[in-house]
């Protein structure tokens, strides 16, 4: 059995009782970063052994992990934060397990984009999760596609690229498109910046934004509704 075990995105209390039990019961924890996961295990006095499983070694590790699972071991997969497989390693291993007839169980739990979306103030009845944009090849094409969507879309972005990303979105979606930048979710310095893409781009220029970031952008229909509202207000 392979268990996909979500871990807190910030606050260490944001973990389920079932996740804690399985972290103790599995024979081995596959961790994206054993140092980060080690802090979580230490906090809850869990001594289960760990091995590294991340984007740089997942291709070479899959067969060995399959061998251990087929030998009867129970393994738990965790990412640095949130749910494994969501913009993190996990898909290749899950697919290989299912093809080999090995049972996979995914626990519900923390995922950064859900609290960011629901607290953004933007429509969340229908949305598109994009994750990280490509750094170079295909980036412009993805931005053009996202700009055309009629519903809310969600991006993950790193602090040192957020200003560039906001300016690119402003250029493709228009300066008045509503957006929300959520950073450091569930942590001490949690912050939500809400406004237009132009407003957020200027904010990113004026100050250094740190921490993990989720960017929520309203769809094209939201942009048109905003323009209609402004005309009606006049």
| Residues 161-219 pLDDT 10s | 999 999 999 999 999 999 999 999 999 999 999 999 999 999 999 988 999 999 999 99
Q: What is the pLDDT of residue 232?
A: 40
Q: In angstroms, rounded to a whole number, what is the distance separating the alpha carbons of residues 4 and 77? A: 5
State the CATH number of the domain containing residue 10: 3.40.1010.10
- C-alpha distance from residue 74 to each of 8, 48, 97, 104, 127 (Å): 22, 12, 12, 10, 35
User: For the chain, what is the domain count?
Assistant: 2
| Residues 39-86 pLDDT 10s | 999 999 999 999 999 988 888 999 999 999 999 999 999 999 999 999
Residues 147 and 186 in one domain: yes
Residues 66 and 136 in one domain: no
Residues 101 and 187 in one domain: no
pLDDT band for 223, please (50, 70, 90 cuts).
Answer: low
Question: Could you tell me the residue range of the domain that residue 146 belongs to?
Answer: 113-233
> Left (φ > 0), alpha (ψ -120 to 50) or beta: where does 174 sit?
left
Residues 92 and 131 in one domain: no
Query: Which residues have C-beta within 8 Å of that of residue 86, sequence separation ≥ 6?
Result: 79, 111, 113, 131
Q: Which of the listed residues 55, 74, 106 is the one where a domain comes to its end? A: 106
Q: Which of the listed residues 91, 106, 121 is the one where a domain comes to its end? A: 106
Q: In angstroms, rounded to a whole number, what is the distance separating the alpha carbons of residues 176 and 66? A: 50
> Left (φ > 0), alpha (ψ -120 to 50) or beta: where does 154 sit?
beta
Q: Which of the listed residues 74, 106, 138 is the one where a domain comes to its end? A: 106
pLDDT band for 222, please (50, 70, 90 cuts).
Answer: low
- C-alpha distance from residue 183 to each of 128, 155, 209, 212 (Å): 19, 12, 8, 6
| Residues 105-164 pLDDT 10s | 999 999 999 999 999 999 999 999 999 999 989 999 999 999 999 999 999 999 999 999
Q: In angstroms, rounded to a whole number, what is the distance separating the alpha carbons of residues 154 and 165? A: 12
Complete DSSP assignment for 139-176: HHHHHHHHHH-SSEEEEEE-GGGHHHHHHHHHHHH-TT
Name the strand (E) or helix (H) holding 78: strand 75-78
């Amino acid at each position: 059995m392979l268990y996909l075990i979500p871990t807190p995105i910030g606050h260490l209390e944001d973990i389920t009782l079932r996740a804690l039990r399985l972290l103790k019961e599995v024979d081995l924890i596959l961790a994206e970063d054993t140092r980060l996961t080690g802090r979580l295990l230490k906090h809850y006095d869990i001594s289960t052994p760990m091995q590294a499983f991340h984007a740089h070694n997942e291709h070479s590790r899959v067969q060995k992990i399959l061998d251990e699972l087929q030998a009867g071991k129970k393994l738990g997969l965790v990412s640095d934060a949130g749910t494994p497989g969501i913009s993190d390693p996990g898909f290749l291993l899950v697919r290989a397990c299912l093809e080999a007839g090995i049972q996979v169980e995914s626990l519900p739990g923390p995922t950064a984009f859900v609290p960011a979306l629901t607290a953004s103030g933007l429509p969340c009845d229908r949305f598109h999760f994009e994750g990280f944009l490509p750094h170079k090849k295909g980036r412009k094409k993805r931005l053009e596609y996202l700009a055309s969507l009629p519903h809310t879309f969600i991006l993950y972005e790193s602090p040192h690229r957020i200003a560039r990303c906001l300016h690119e979105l402003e250029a493709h979606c228009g300066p008045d498109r509503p957006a929300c930048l959520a950073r450091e979710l569930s942590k001490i310095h949690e912050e939500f910046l809400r406004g237009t893409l132009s407003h957020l781009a200027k904010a990113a220029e004026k100050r250094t934004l740190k921490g993990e970031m989720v960017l929520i952008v309203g769809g094209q229909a939201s942009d048109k509704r905003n323009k209609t509202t402004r005309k009606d207000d006049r």
